[in-house]
Structure 1
Amino acid sequence: MLSGRILTPGGWIDGSIDFGQRISEIRADSSVDTALTILPGFIDLHVHGAAGADIMQGGDAAATIARAHARHGTTAMLGTTMTATDNSIRRALRGMAPVIEQRPAGGARMLGAHLEGPFLSIHRLGAQPADAVVVGSMDLVRSYHELAPIRVMTLATEVADHLALIPQLNALGIRVQIGHSNGTYEDGVAALKAGAAGFTHLYNGMTGLRHQEAGIVGAALAHAEYAEIIPDLQHVQPGAILAALRAIPRLYGITDATSATGMPDGEYGLGSQLVYKCRGCVRLATGSLAGSVLTMDQALRNFVGLGLDLADASNRLSLYPADYLGEAARGRLAPGAWADIVVLDADLQPVAVFVEGEAIDLSSNQP
C-alpha cells in the first residue's frame, strides 16, 4: 500500500493505493500525508541504451538497459534499433526477444521493439549510418518480426514504395511513424491517410516548416494526433516544444537514450558508430547530436519547467504512449491496471518505483 497524492484517470485523489502485480483498489482519504506524489510509471517508446549498454550489442544488453531505466521511473519501454547491417539488426532483435518474453528482475517491461530504420532517407539520416540504408520490403519486415515483436517502425514514407507498405505493416500490428524523412508536406499527409500513426522525434531528422514549404514538420503540426518528441531541451528549443504541445493533442515524450545514459563523459557506442558524451549531450565526431542521455524522470521535470501542470506532464510520459500502443492496462493508475508506479518527492525526484508490483532498488550502485 502507498499513500499520498495520487493521479488517477479521473484526476487527483488524496488517499492510498493497494496493489500486488496489479492495482486492486484506490481509496480517497483526506487525512493522509500528501508529501509524496504517486504517478503512473513512465513508458518510453524510443530508447537505444543506458549504463554502457547498447541494444545493437544483443546478448544481455537489453536486460541491462531495462534495469537502468527502471531506476528512473520507466516501467515499460520499447528497445530501439539503429540502422545497421542485416546481421546486426537480427542480433539486436534476438537479444531483445527473451527480455520481451520475460521481464528481467529489477527491470522495466520491454513491450517490443521499435525498428528505427533501416528504411530511411539518405538525406535525413542524423546519426544513422548511410551505408546500411535499404529499401523496405514486407518479406524483410516479417523476418524481423518473427525474431521479436515489432511494435513501432520508423519509415521514410516518401522513399520507393514505402507508402504502399503502411497498410500491410498496420495489419501486422506495427505502428508506422514518419521519420528520418526528406518528404514534403504532401508526402506526410499522404502517409497519414495511408495509416501512419505518428512521427519519430518531431523536428529532428525531417524536413522543417517554412512558410512556403511546410515539410514533414508542417504535416505533423497540422494533422497529427500523436508524435514523439525528445524533451531534453537540446534536441528541440523550448519554444518549438511549446508550439508542438499546442498543435498535437497527444504529443508524448521519449528519451532517445543511448549507452552513455547514466555514465561519465567519454566515448560510447551507438550501433556501429562512436559517440561522445560531454556536457549532458551525445554527439558524433562531426558535432551532430546522436541520441541523448535523458531519463524519463528528467523529462517530467523538463516538461513541468516549461509550464505544464504535473498531470499533463505525466500523461505525456505515461498515458499517451500507452494509448498509442493500445496498452489499456498501463500508463494509468486504476483498479485492474498493472502496478507500474513511480513515487516522487516535492522536487519530483523518484523515491520509489514499482514495475508490475515489484519494488525497484533505487540505491543500486549501477548507473
Structure 2
Amino acid sequence: MTTADRKAFAGARLVLPGGVVEHGRISVEGSRIAGLGGEPEPGDLDLTGYTVVPGFVDLHVHGGGGASYASGIAEEALTAARTHLAHGTTTTIASTVTGEIDEVCRQAAVLSELVEDGVLAGIHFEGPFISHNRCGAHRPDLLRDPDPALVRKLADAARGHAKMFTLAPELPGGLESVRMLSDLGIIAAVGHTDSDYDLTLAAVDAGATVATHLFNAMPGIQHRAPGPIVALLEDERVTVELINDGIHLHPSVLELAYGTAGAERVALITDAMGAAGMGDGLYPLGPLQVRVENGVARLVEGGSIAGSTLTLDVSFQRAVNVLGLSLNQAVTSLSTVPARLLGLSDSIGSLEAGKNADLVVLDSETLDLVAVMRRGEWIVGADRLTRAHAA
C-alpha cells in the first residue's frame, strides 16, 4: 500500500456510534477506515472546525442532476448517482416509477448493471402496484394490481438486485405479494395506499417492514379511523421513511413521527426527481412531465407534488437546525437505519474501524457540506480542506 492510500485527519468533531468526540482523529487505509482515536501525527490533515459523519444512505430517490433512473439509460443513471454523491449520499438505491411492466423490466436490467459495477446498492420499485386513489405522480392508466407473478417478474428482471417494492396491500394480491417478497428477502413497503388500520397491520404481519414516505400518498389520521399512518408508526417492526424538505411535511409532523417512532426507526429520504441539484424548469418523471418552481416539483397535469428536489446534506442540516435533532440522531436516520435495513451495517452506516471510508465533512458551525469521501477517495471538497489547512 502506497503513502497515497493512507490518509489521516485530526482535530475534527467525529460523530461516532457511542457519541460525539471533539478533536478526534480518523485514519484511512485504501477504501477502509483503519482506526479512530490517538494523538495527531505529522502529516495529518487538520480538520479543526469541521464535523465528520458517515456517508448518507438514500433508500428512495428517482434521479438528480437533470437525469432520471427511470430513463432506462445508463449515462442518465450515472449522472443521477453522481449528483447525489456530491451531496454526501455515498450509498444509493435507484427508485423507478410506474410504467409498462416490460419497460420497467428493461430499466431494471440497466440499473442492475450499475449495481454490479458498484455505483448503486440496489433497486426500489415504486409502482405500478399502488392505489389509484393515492397514485400521486404515477400515471393512473398504468397502475396494476400486485399479482405475485408480475411482482416476481420485476424482481427477476433485477437479477437479484431488487431491494424494495412499494405496494398497496389492500389491492388484490397485495398480502400474497408481501409474503412472497418477504420469502425472497426483498423489502416490502406499504405506500401509495388507501389501506385501513387493520389491513395495514395485516401487511406488517405478512412481512412488510417499511412505510414509503409516511404521511404522503395515504389517508390521514382520523379519530375513529386511524388508518395506515398510526399502524405504521406504532409497530416496532416498521421503519418509516420521511421527506424532510420543508414541503412534504410540516416540522411538527416530523417531530410527531420522531416522538412516536424514535430515530432508530426513521429513515430520512429524498424521494428526489431529476431536478435535484438543478434549477427550476420542466423535467420528466417516467412518462409524466414535472414543472419545478421555487424548488417545488409538481405534475404539469393535475399539480400533484412529484417527488422532491432535496439532497441529503440539506436534509441533515434541517434535521439538526430545524427539527432540533442531535448530531447522533441525524446520523442514525440518514446513515445507520437505512444501512441496517439494506443489510449493509457491516460496511457502511457509521464511523467504525473496518468499515468503508465513506465520510461527509461538514462545517461545524453551519453544517454546510464541505467535502465527501467514498471508499477512501475524495469525490468533492478535498481542495477546500487543503486550502483551509494551508490558511
TM over 0.5: yes
Match of 1:157 in 2: 169
Choose which of 311, 332, 336 in structure 2 pairs with 1:319.
Answer: 336
Q: Which has the larger radius of gyration?
A: 2
Deviation at 1:267, TM superposition (A): 0.5
**Aligned Cα RMSD in Å?**
1.7
Are the equivalent residues in 1 in contact too, given 2:54–2:351 (CA < 8 A)? yes
Instruction: Give aligned-pair identity as a percent.
Output: 38
1:27-78 superposed Cα distances (whole Å, 9 cap, x missing partner): 1449975411010000000000101111111122211111100100000010
Match of 1:291 in 2: 307
- Say whether 1:340 aligns with 2:358: yes
SS across alignment from 1:123: helix
1:153-173 superposed Cα distances (whole Å, 9 cap, x missing partner): 101011112112222101212
TM-score normalised over the length of structure 1: 0.94
Choose which of 63, 76, 81 in structure 2 pairs with 1:49.
Answer: 63
Match of 2:17 in 1: 9
1:229-271 superposed Cα distances (whole Å, 9 cap, x missing partner): 1000110111111000111131110000000111121110011
Match of 1:350 in 2: 369
Aligned counterparts of 1:221 and 1:142: Cα–Cα separation in 2: 28
Cα 1:83–1:33 shift into 2, 3 Å: closer
Aligned counterparts of 1:164 and 1:349: Cα–Cα separation in 2: 45
Choose which of 99, 117, 139 in structure 1 pairs with 2:127.
Answer: 117
Choose which of 125, 142, 147 in structure 1 pairs with 2:157.
Answer: 147
| Counterpart residue type for residue 352 of structure 1 | A
Match of 2:95 in 1: 80
| Counterpart residue type for residue 211 of structure 2 | F
Choose which of 77, 81, 90 in structure 2 pairs with 1:62.
Answer: 77
Deviation at 1:350, TM superposition (A): 1.7
Which piece of structure 1 moves more, 83-92 or 225-234?
A: 83-92
Match of 2:104 in 1: 89
Are the equivalent residues in 1 in contact too, given 2:32–2:356 (CA < 8 A)? yes
Aligned counterparts of 1:259 and 1:214: Cα–Cα separation in 2: 34
Are the equivalent residues in 1 in contact too, given 2:17–2:328 (CA < 8 A)? no
Are the equivalent residues in 1 in contact too, given 2:69–2:76 (CA < 8 A)? yes
Are the equivalent residues in 1 in contact too, given 2:101–2:154 (CA < 8 A)? no
Aligned counterparts of 1:56 and 1:222: Cα–Cα separation in 2: 33
1:61-106 superposed Cα distances (whole Å, 9 cap, x missing partner): 2111111001000000100000111132123212211211113xxx
Are the equivalent residues in 2 in contact too, given 1:208–1:218 (CA < 8 A)? no
Equivalent residue runs for 1:224-263 within 5 Å: 224=236, 225-249=238-262, 250-263=265-278
Deviation at 1:137, TM superposition (A): 2.9
SS across alignment from 2:290: strand
Match of 2:5 in 1: none
Match of 1:195 in 2: 207
SS across alignment from 1:316: helix
Are the equivalent residues in 1 in contact too, given 2:239–2:266 (CA < 8 A)? yes
Q: Larger helix proportion, structure 1 or 2?
A: 2
Are the equivalent residues in 2 in contact too, given 1:56–1:88 (CA < 8 A)? no
Aligned counterparts of 1:244 and 1:29: Cα–Cα separation in 2: 41
1:180-214 superposed Cα distances (whole Å, 9 cap, x missing partner): 00010111111111111010000001111111110
Aligned residues: 359
| Counterpart residue type for residue 180 of structure 2 | Q
